[in-house]
Structure 1
Amino acid sequence: MVNRVTLTGHLGADPDVKDLSAGVVANCRLASTDYCKDRTTGNMKEATEWHRLVLFGRHAEIARDFW
C-alpha cells in the first residue's frame, strides 16, 4: 500500500540542509491555506496549516541547489 499526499503552499523559510554520512537531509516548513465560507455570517474565513517536511536524497539535493 502506498500513501501519497500532494501539498501546495509557501515555504516559511529557506530549507535547513545537512550533509550526513548517510546522505543529504533537508528540513523545511510549508504553509497551506484553506478558504471557506462561514455558515452563520456568510463571510470568507481563512485557515492556515503548517506542515513540517523532511526531504531525503535527491529531493534534499534539489532543495539545497535551488533554494
Structure 2
Amino acid sequence: MNALRNRVQLIGNLGQDPEVTILDGGGKMARFSLATNEVYKNAEGEKVTDTQWHQVVAWGKIADIAESYLNKGKEVAVEGKLIHRHYDTDEGQRKYVTEVRCSELLLLGK
C-alpha cells in the first residue's frame, strides 16, 4: 500500500514550452504547466468543460526529455508526487506553491 501514497497521475496538454534551468552542479530542471479537462453536463443538460492547471517540475533525464520533445499544446501523461512548498518574496510576503514532481513522463498524441 505504501506505493499508493502521494501518487499523482495526470493526462493533459502543456500550456507553454518547458522552462529549463541548468543548475550550479550541472543538473537540469524543467518546469511546465499542464491543463487537464473534465467534461460534464450541468443541471440544464449543457456540456461544460472544466479546465484545471497543474504546475509540473522534472529533474535530470526527465528534464532532458521535456526539453527535447515537449512544446506548447503537446499531450502528455505525467506521474509523480504532490509537493507543497513556500518561499518569501523580496517584499517579505510568503508565497505557497503546489506542484507535481514528475517521476515518469509519457509522450502522447502527435
**TM-score, with length taken from structure 1:** 0.87
Letter in 2 for 1:51: H
When the two chains are superposed, the root-mean-square deviation of aligned CA atoms in Å is 1.2
Q: Distance in 1 between the 2:49 and 2:67 partners? A: 31
The structure carrying a bigger strand percent of its residues is 2
How far the C-alpha of 1:58 sits from its partner, in A, is: 1.2
How far the C-alpha of 1:6 sits from its partner, in A, is: 1.3
Cross-structure match for 1:34: 38
Identity of aligned residues (%): 38
Cross-structure match for 1:53: 56
Deviations 1:6-25 (A, max 9, x none): 11111011000111024110
How many residues in Structure 1 have an aligned counterpart in Structure 2? 66
Q: Distance in 2 between the 1:33 and 1:19 partners? A: 31
